[in-house]
Chains A and B, each alone.
Chain A
């Protein structure tokens, strides 16, 4: 329970150069844009125009090091970018992968992979938005993964199926986790290997995808891998080390999704306060009622706390260390707080919360889903309990 004496700086208000242009960009994609997408069939809901605008803005290359033509900014700044997007009517889910999936290439990719992709990803010319991990029988537990990649001559042949792969059908590249050998009793997640998949090629031969019609517009799809051939240089890092790489990536993912959640919280609190101050019932604004005011105030306090733990996780990451369970804590606290604020906002709006034109119910659905994915409550609390507090595996 100890960590080194790292200094942490709180300077939330000093980043207008990032926030202002992002707010302006997001203003071009108001609630009506997102509602119209939700009215479409599942395979046509992707917010292409929004993602195009974000790709062009250059913000998504924040974390890619300068030597690969990225902005080389801190995770703290990346978090501020996502927080700002989510504080508006927008949702960064369709584009967030661009911000962090390439970290696996930075850390473990070959020189050729880095040279070929990182600059193009930083520039937004190549989209790296999807990671295929989950299967029917694997969620938090990746050991039972059955999708296999068999080395046959000078290719890997992949067979299996992946589920809930966000943005797979709208991405140029996809991170794929597949089994190249069986795990051991001591290490059941050994033998998983990370691959970089060129989606345009794959979808022509060996892979098919089907959009999932789900409660929120997360661009999820099911993928069937039927004899998909991947060149040997599609392997990222060492064969069999995929799980370790994925765990590293998950920490980054947690801190970034924590930022999305605190952004959502800002959206909800602003809407809730504005509405509570304006809406008159029993002859006065409903904000006068502690039954309305206290849940908003309480959730606000939780959100402020969550922002601090998320900043701490980012500060540890930016100091060059692995935040480990601290990242889990950041996501857990941020999502719980966002859910509290979402619910307070929902209650404050009464019947109008159900009306789609207010966007409360859409963001509220998003906030609930974010508690579960990526990295749900069970996985997060288990990480904290086992890896920080020294308790045994419960699962």
Chain B
């Protein structure tokens, strides 16, 4: 439970970026997102919004300056994502552009970095897809069954991935596949490799993407690999070490998605307070009723608390410190806090919030999803119980 000293800013950090984000988001009101939700899954990608964000350079916030990015620390990216969500928009369709590249940055070859990072930074190439989850492996990632068999000049991929968001709208995908069968490795985490797959080529070579119609518009898909050939230089880092590389990126991911969740919480509270102050019930503002007022104050206190954990995690990550516990705690605190905000907002708006033209119900669905994804709260509690508090592995 020991930690070194770490320092972070309180309040509205990166104000210039937050302002710029708010300006972009103004052009994408609730009606824009509602329109997209009414499209079939294949046509629901917020292309215009993503293009507008790409132009600002914010999606390449974490890419170093020498590859054409903004070179911000994780906290900078977190502030940007928080601002997007606080404005009522959603970064889900494009946030992976921000962090998936971290695996390339930390473990890729110079050739891979030179080839891809500048184009990702410019928005010419989209790296939005992250292929890990499979139908029979959720939290138990090392049980994945998708295989990458070494062949002359490359690998052949066979298997299936599910809940791969944005795959239909991405040029590149980071793919996790087994290169050595599980029964031939010492530890289950060994023998799994990470590949940077050019989806444009893979689609011509037997990769099939099927959209999933889901509760939230995250453009999520199923992907089938039927003997798909990928060239040798797709391999990231060393063969068999891929699980480690993915884990490295997860703390940044948890920090960033927790920031989006905080942003959603801010959106809910702003809207809920405004509504409750302006609408009268029984002769006085709804907000003068304690069941309303205390629920809001409680949710706000939780949100402010979660926000600090996210800031702490980012500061630790940016300082190169181990931050697995904090990243996990950020995830669960932000998820619970944002859900408290979502519940109180929906209750206060009542039917006005359930109307499909209202963003309250859309954001409420997002808030629920954020409690399960990208990590189950049960796995967070397992991590804390086992690795922080010294209790035995319960599963």
Contacts and interface: CB of A to CB of B under 8 A. Distances in A.
B381 interface: yes
Contact of B11 (A3, A289, A306): A3
Say what secondary structure dominates the interface of chain A: helix
Contact of B392 (A269, A277, A381): A277
Nearest to A274: B390
A392 B276 CA distance: 10
A391 B276 contact: yes
B394 interface: yes
B391 A293 contact: yes
Interface in A362-395: 378, 381-382, 384-385, 388-395
Contact of B391 (A273, A309, A382, A395): A273
A294 B384 CA distance: 9
A300 B386 CA distance: 12
B394 A6 contact: no
Chain B interface SS verdict (over half): helix
A156 B315 CA distance: 56
B392 A394 contact: no
Given A301-B329, A329-B304, A389-B300, A296 B391 contact: yes
Given A390-B273, A391-B277, A297 B385 contact: yes
B102 to A, nearest CB: 24
Interface string A1-40: 1111111111111100000000000000000000000000
A78 interface: no
A173 interface: no
Interface in A335-360: none
Nearest to A389: B273
Given A7-B10, A301-B384, A308 B5 contact: no
Interface in A251-306: 269, 273, 276-277, 285, 287-290, 293-294, 296-298, 300-302, 304-306
A333 interface: yes
A302 B333 CA distance: 7
A273 B389 contact: yes
B388 A384 contact: no
B294 A381 contact: yes
A315 interface: yes
Contacts of A10: 3, 5-8, 312, 315
Given A308-B309, A332-B301, A391 B287 contact: yes
A32 B285 CA distance: 53
B352 interface: no
Nearest to B11: A3
Given A12-B3, A392-B285, A308 B308 contact: yes
Given A296-B389, A393-B288, A394-B293, A304 B329 contact: yes
Contacts of B6: 9-11
A296 B4 CA distance: 24
Given A308-B305, A391-B273, A394-B293, A13 B2 contact: yes
A162 interface: no
Contacts of B184: none
A261 to B, nearest CB: 13
Nearest to A326: B304
A76 interface: no
B308 A312 contact: yes
Given A287-B391, A309-B308, A394-B289, A384 B277 contact: no
Interface string A128-172: 000000000000000000000000000000000000000000000
B13 interface: yes
Contacts of B8: 7-8, 10
Nearest to A2: B12
B300 A4 contact: no
B78 interface: no
A284 to B, nearest CB: 8
Contacts of B289: 394
A381 B293 contact: yes
Contacts of B127: none
Given A288-B394, A391-B288, A392-B285, A384 B385 contact: no
A332 B300 CA distance: 12
A312 B389 contact: no
A69 to B, nearest CB: 30
A389 B394 contact: no
Interface of A: 1-14, 269, 273, 276-277, 285, 287-290, 293-294, 296-298, 300-302, 304-306, 308-309, 311-312, 315-316, 329, 332-333, 378, 381-382, 384-385, 388-395
Given A293-B391, A305-B329, A381-B297, 5 more contacts: A8-B7, A8-B10, A290-B378, A300-B388, A305-B306
9 contacts: A4-B11, A6-B9, A14-B5, A294-B378, A296-B389, A304-B309, A333-B305, A381-B298, A392-B277
Which 7 pairs from chain A and chain B are nearest by CB?
A: A11-B5, A308-B308, A391-B287, A305-B305, A297-B384, A287-B391, A297-B381
